[in-house]
Amino acid sequence: MEKYVGGKLHGIRVTGSKLNYHGSITIDADFCREVGLKPLEYVEIWNKMSGARISTYVLYGKGGSRCCILNGAAARTCQEGDEIIIASSIYGEVGDIIALKPRVLVFDADNGVVDRITYEVFRRPDGSLDMTVTSEVPDNDYGFPTTMVSGAHPPSSLLERRDRD
């Protein structure tokens, strides 16, 4: 069993904190459902502003609220307005991550979704592993090419291009 990314909220902004509340993070339920975060699931939180890294569990906030509220001790690690990354994990075999196709939401400064990304791991014809990253944003600047792949295997032209690169 290995640990893999299960889903991610990238660049979501902290909208509040409740220091005297029992620990957790409250996140807009619509965001959670879209990337597969479950209530009470443990997640890793990485603060892009301070470098702080913590883990806590998810509480669903009101759908459509765009909320991201750190509770309890977690409230000490982030300030309102900080940009954070929230990632869930799964433990499994390679086949599990191939089947999952983890989803990522990317946010603007107002917690509006500006991109939806899918990570797709697959086996190449020789059996080795590879992956594609599918973004809804053409010519994104994330450092990976935008690919639109349907099915579990990319077209041979994609494999041929990767072999040349």
User: pLDDT for 39-69, tens place per residue?
Assistant: 999 999 999 999 999 999 999 999 999 999 9
Q: Is 156 one of the annotated active-site residues of the chain?
A: no
164, containing H or E segment: helix 156-164
Q: How far is CA 83 from the centre of its chain?
A: 14
The yes/no answer on whether domain 1-165 falls in CATH 2.60.34.10 is no
Q: What is the mean pLDDT of residues 119-130?
A: 94
Burial status of residue 164 (CB atoms within 10 A of its CB: 0-12, 13-18, 19 or more):
exposed
Task: Report domain extents, the chain.
Answer: 1-165
Q: Which two tokens stand for residue 101?
A: 């196709």
Q: Is 157 one of the annotated active-site residues of the chain?
A: no
Q: What are the distances in angstroms from CA 40 to CA 43, 53, 55?
A: 9, 18, 12
What pLDDT score does 57 carry?
Answer: 97
Catalytic residue among 57, 65, 89, 142: 57
Catalytic residue among 17, 24, 88, 135: 24
